[in-house]
Structure 1
Amino acid sequence: MAELFTAEELEEVERLKSLYPQPQAALLPVLWMVQRKYGWISLENIRAVAELLRLPYAHVLGVVRFYTMFHTEPVGRYHIQVCTNVSCMLRGGERVLEYLAHKLGIAPKERTPDGLFSLEEVECMGACGGAPMIAVNEDYYENITLEQIDTLLEQLRRRAQEESRFADGASNGNLTP
């Protein structure tokens, strides 16, 4: 358990458990904590969460696999989910998926070689009124057009380059064009 969470994070888990009549009800927020920390939820971490919340491993695994928001394999820094359910399909969701696959050079369930992007086809994400829609990590983009996708991909690439420069110490904190 010590490897999964720091002492401070374990305190947060305890706080979350205290918010519910049954501590096991904190499962979704605890899984979110794991995914935010590691970027995905490994089988080892599923087992650790099950032990921590005193839940059967199969139950936690089932919850993780049920929700498209949880990833059981590493994903790109920017994980792009494309809805192709009825509303999105009728408004061009499949075309959006094909376009993204072409632009990124990957198929759904793959990552770009640099690990920057991953692509996933998903069922309804609850934004049918804004179809077609995509999600990038936790941000929704509704009524998305192919032109907007081009702009978005360029913005994400630029953001990654800027963050990389800061991480490498190549900047004094001032953004330059």
Structure 2
Amino acid sequence: MGSEKKSRLPAIVATAVAVPVAVVAGVLVFNAIAPRAEDPAPQDLSPVSVEVPALSEEDAVICLALTATAPETAGGLQARPVSGGEGGASAAEAVMAYGDPAVLATCGVEPVAVEDTALVYKLNGVCWYSDEAGVEWTTLDRQVPVAVNVPESNEQPVDVLNDLSTVIAAKVPAAAEAPTGCA
């Protein structure tokens, strides 16, 4: 009986070593042949050349307060530097850009006139109006209007607008009047 135990010992040791090695080898082989999720294409985060609106001194101060506190991401899109602006305000004082293709948020645009019955959207304390395509969004209830151009390829413009609305509500004072739907 004692010799039977001695002859099993090498088999037990071999099994104790072989099983973990086989498991590790199986995991390595599986990871090598398993399909991988495709890495997203790298985003172009180079500076975006933009046009800068002509701003009064008061509007320039408000726009600078907005852009100086702009979030690093909006709707999951990374902030990008902007360039442009001849003679007046620099692009960084009035425009924010996010993602690739770039979502552009421009402070100090011309106000949009809408009828009281127009469809408006209240997002995080800011009232927005959009064109039919949902590409150009403009604030309706701010002293200094802000326009956000969201490329059609962006499937969720509201995600970007929600993130930007928070800082717009904090930094751009509300207008004395706004369309009925903005109340």
Asked if Structure 1 and Structure 2 have the same fold, meaning a TM-score greater than 0.5 normalized by the shorter chain, the answer is: no
Larger radius of gyration: 2
Structure holding more helix per residue: 1
Which structure ranks higher in relative contact order (CA pairs < 8 Å, sequence separation ≥ 6)?
2
TM-score by length of 2: 0.23
Normalising by structure 1, report the TM-score: 0.24
More strand by share: 2
